[in-house]
Structure 1
Amino acid sequence: MPGTNSALRARLLGVLLCLCLSAGAATATRAGATPGTARSPAAMAGGSVSDDPASWTPDVLDGSVYQVIQVGGLMYAAGSFTAEREAGSDQVRRVGSLFAFDARTGAIDTWFRPRLDGPVTALVAAPDGRSLYVAGSFRGGGSARGPYLARVDAGTGAAWPGFSPATLDGPVARLVLAGGRLIAGGSFQTVEGRPRPALASFDPASGRATDDVDLRLAVPRHTASGASSPIKVTALAVTPDQRRLIFGGDFDRVAGKARYQLAVADLGTDGARLDPWSTTRYQPQCSDHFPTYVRGIAVAPAGGWFVVAATGGGRVGKLCDAVARFELAGNGDPTWVNWTGGDTLLSAAITDAAVYVGGHQRWLDNPKGNNSAGPGAVSRPGIGAVAISDGRALAWNPRKDRGIGVFCILATDAGLWITSDTTHVHGEYHARIAFFPARSGRAATQPDPAGATSAGTDAAGPDVTRSRVARR
């Protein structure tokens, strides 16, 4: 967090942070067909992505976009916005919180018209390829049968028949599907009146609560100055084999064991159990103004390791305002750390070429900076990439308006999507959504101690065959 705005920005972020999986997109199918298997982003990442965004992505005209996912040939964008339009168009379309557009051309899908009365912070494609799980701070609307959690038709946005979610007492910030479970994380404390602080599971078909994930998150954190907040989950990810759940947030104990802001659970057939993996590196206090600082988690496409993006305010030697790599078979110490020198990181995605990180940072490679550029710091405003092996900044440098930050980074075979609350990337107008097309070669996969910007060209769009979601 930069300077004196740390506490204010922390409050603005709250739980409105999205999870973007870097393991590819779900595939839409015709009714009755078997859903396709999502490809990893390895094909895209075998080279790199341009630092000049495509010109055809739609513009979101207000609020923030918290997440984007792909289902077949359509992208779905979720957030706190109320208006959007196609690139180069003067025609404004007003569908708040959630809309769909073509993954190749950016054309807004006018068939998809969900009705929700508040922000959407998390999206997951259902295995059938024809529906979406939607979560946030909405309380209802025609697409939701209750507050905070819904399932909608991916073709029309209407409420999905037969899905009546259990009652939660607070918003949902994160969603994943794993092992036949729909797992939610957020700031809720009860589900159907039963204690389930911040983390719970649901039947994907009916929405009813299950006992599969009951890990008893406890002991909310506090600072020496007395700042505290309720128990909540701020980051959630699942390994590609769907056997492990990695989560972070405001807690110091899980299932009766010490787990400081970060924990791993094993997702067995008989329910989730706390994994032995642990770290003490997120135990120390960072900011005096807010108690938690884990903000984003991304798992490597092949599994085995993950990264954590964090806020917290610059504290030399601590994992505040930094991205850190951890091995699931390791001892809890990070393999490497890249510090911003005092600015928040909110999101990350991993490909086979790089770890992409976003927030409102000004620099990377800045372990000695204190809201300033220390020795060796490189300019990477808003978005950047670091090497998988040692975490050093790579040459890729699109230069983005900082704002609150990049909420979501999604890697696909075609390229890299980012969402935010700002309007300019690479000196061009890209309102709250930008797409960096894949390109061949490895120009951006080497460390860049001088902070040079890699070259890039615009593109007409990724080579994706359009497939509309099957209409029900």
Structure 2
Amino acid sequence: MRGRLHRWGSRRRGLRAAAGLLVAAVVAAGTATGAAAPASAAPSVMLSTPKSLGGWGVTGLDVTTSPLADFKSNVTALAEWNGRIYVGGMFTAVARNGTTQAAQPYLAAFDRATGAWVTTFRPRLDGGVWDLAVTPKGQLLVAGYFGVVNGTTHRALVALNPSTGAVDSTWKATLTRTTGRVGVRTMHLQGSWVYLGGNVNTVSGGTGTDTGTVRGKNLFRVKVSNGRPSAGFHPSMSTAPWQVFASPKGDRVYAAGRFGTVNGTAKEVLAVLSPTTGALVSGVAKVTPTFDCRPACTKAPYSEAVYETKNGAYVIATPTEHGLHQLTRSTLARRYGHYTGGDPGSTVKAGGDYQAIAEANGVVYAACHCFRQDYSGAYRTTTPGLAPTSWSRYSRINGIGAYDATTFAKLDAFSPAVYGQYGDGVWQLFVDSAGCLWAGGDIVKTASNAWLGGFAKFCRT
């Protein structure tokens, strides 16, 4: 849950020549003078070979409702309920071994163990799905850029029965926008609330006598129980966040994206907000981007993903242009960093932005459209795509990297062997109840040419 979603701007285009190749093996590793030896693999790291899903997946790409015309990943959302994995995105059909089985655009369900398509779950949406969440009551919350679900109006957000796909009338939230198409790019369920980030100005929701309307700008929270918006939480963000993550500790909400102000205060890359009021939390450092082209350009830096580690000690953030940083939670002071780019000394640009983060068994997994080198101990670049200004060691990265959650050392044993079609890489990482890692994005086949339909599953055994 995204760990979910979504992050645009100058992320294009990484290693286009690779055409989305997530290379099969670690073929290069090196160290700078006097650098430490390469990190050893943690015993709990996932195996690099994806599990068989019986050839099931999704196919097709419809970007007509996407807020970005050049976005070419047909899977952007993953969630789990009762032995099923729900897959959302811009796909148009369910397929098996590359052959279309049925038209089922934007949202489908598959058996978690076997991968088989669940034919009884057939909701009908008219636009792309960007994020998914499951409530404690077992309702499937679906967010995206759609306007009609099962023949009735439900703009950008709807609750479905996860068994049948029918709209759940006990959960209601109506979203509107002053101009343009309303849409939700990211949501995170934490405690009694669901935090929503997107192109939204007003939320009206709730059921029975517990209803309300809240006006704001691009970030809201609504009740998990019935969808009523919180009147006390009303931050104002100059642009919609690309990802929102609410801390399990209940004391802050992180918002990542390309915004210039929050509540009228200059704030870029990453904002830390009160979960109850939306006010900026004081005492945290400014997150320094890996690259900032200003004043030669006008584009502000951005962040595509943010995550707080399960031990509550660190924040993992993506401070623009191929960077992945470990920050101390208390102050957001930078502790360690990684950067993706081309080979040392090469003039060919490679690498790409990190786009999704998840954690399992003390290992942080981070996905990117990067298919060349991961540089450890790297924090800055003068030319995105080339080697950074300094580093301690480098090793191959194949679209998803594994990192020790405490030391943040790269764990080279995890080197997945899957291929993409457009070079967009992985846009969603999700850990299921069995402890396996699911990756969704521009994924079409394994190194042995086995077909993959937009997603893959990695386990420890």
Same fold (TM over 0.5): yes
Partner of 1:291: 300
Partner of 1:371: 385
1:398 to 416, 421, 430: 416
Instruction: Answer 1 or 2: which has greater strand percent.
Output: 2
Cα contact 2:268–2:302 (8 A) shared by 1: no
User: 1:243, 1:280 → 2: CA distance?
Assistant: 19
Structure 1 residues 107 and 217, CA gap change in structure 2 (3 angstroms): same
Partner of 1:347: 356
1:417 to 409, 423, 438: 438
Partner of 2:17: none
User: 1:175, 1:207 → 2: CA distance?
Assistant: 13
* Residues 241-282 of structure 1: per-residue CA shift (max 9 Å, x gap): 3442111123233334443221222334xx444322433234
Q: How does 1:205-216 map to 2 (within 5 A)?
A: 205-216=225-236
User: 1:144, 1:381 → 2: CA distance?
Assistant: 42
SS in structure 1 of the partner of residue 459 of structure 2: strand
Structure 1 residues 178 and 277, CA gap change in structure 2 (3 angstroms): farther
Q: How does 1:55-66 map to 2 (within 5 A)?
A: 55-56=52-53, 58-63=56-61, 64-66=74-76
Deviation for aligned residue 1:334: 1.2
Letter in 1 for 2:284: S
Letter in 2 for 1:118: G
Q: Does 1:333 align with 2:355?
A: no
**TM-score calculated relative to the size of structure 2:** 0.74
Letter in 2 for 1:82: T
User: 1:392, 1:277 → 2: CA distance?
Assistant: 27
Q: Does 1:236 align with 2:234?
A: no
Q: Does 1:155 align with 2:163?
A: yes
Percentage identity across paired residues of the two chains: 23
Using the TM superposition, name which of 332-341 and 375-384 deviates more.
375-384
Cα contact 1:151–1:163 (8 A) shared by 2: yes
Letter in 1 for 2:245: A
Deviation for aligned residue 1:79: 0.3
User: 2:98, 2:89 → 1: CA distance?
Assistant: 21
Q: Does 1:93 align with 2:99?
A: no
SS in structure 1 of the partner of residue 197 of structure 2: strand
User: 1:115, 1:81 → 2: CA distance?
Assistant: 13
Deviation for aligned residue 1:144: 5.7
Letter in 2 for 1:280: K
Deviation for aligned residue 1:337: 0.7
* Count of paired positions: 376
User: 1:426, 1:273 → 2: CA distance?
Assistant: 48
Deviation for aligned residue 1:289: 7.3
Q: How does 1:11-22 map to 2 (within 5 A)?
A: none
Stretches of structure 1 that go unaligned for 5 or more consecutive residues are 11-44, 219-230, 312-319, 440-472
Q: Does 1:431 align with 2:453?
A: yes
Structure 1 residues 155 and 180, CA gap change in structure 2 (3 angstroms): same
Structure 1 residues 144 and 437, CA gap change in structure 2 (3 angstroms): farther
Letter in 2 for 1:324: H
User: 2:232, 2:190 → 1: CA distance?
Assistant: 11
SS in structure 1 of the partner of residue 409 of structure 2: coil
Structure 1 segments of 4+ aligned residues over 6 angstroms from their partners:
none
User: 1:425, 1:6 → 2: CA distance?
Assistant: 29
2:86 to 61, 76, 80: 76
Structure 1 residues 414 and 191, CA gap change in structure 2 (3 angstroms): closer
Deviation for aligned residue 1:343: 1.5
1:179 to 174, 191, 195: 191
Structure 1 residues 83 and 266, CA gap change in structure 2 (3 angstroms): same
User: 1:144, 1:386 → 2: CA distance?
Assistant: 45
Structure 1 residues 204 and 47, CA gap change in structure 2 (3 angstroms): closer
Cα contact 2:196–2:220 (8 A) shared by 1: yes
Root-mean-square deviation (CA, aligned residues, Å) is 2.8
Partner of 1:263: 271
Cα contact 1:296–1:346 (8 A) shared by 2: yes
Letter in 1 for 2:86: Y
User: 2:299, 2:102 → 1: CA distance?
Assistant: 38
Letter in 2 for 1:340: T
* Residues 110-152 of structure 1: per-residue CA shift (max 9 Å, x gap): 11111110001011101112x1111100011317642111111
Partner of 2:281: 275
SS in structure 1 of the partner of residue 12 of structure 2: helix
Cα contact 2:322–2:384 (8 A) shared by 1: no
Structure 1 residues 69 and 242, CA gap change in structure 2 (3 angstroms): farther
User: 2:100, 2:385 → 1: CA distance?
Assistant: 42
Cα contact 1:173–1:186 (8 A) shared by 2: yes
User: 1:289, 1:9 → 2: CA distance?
Assistant: 17
SS in structure 2 of the partner of residue 233 of structure 1: coil
SS in structure 2 of the partner of residue 232 of structure 1: coil
Partner of 1:9: 12
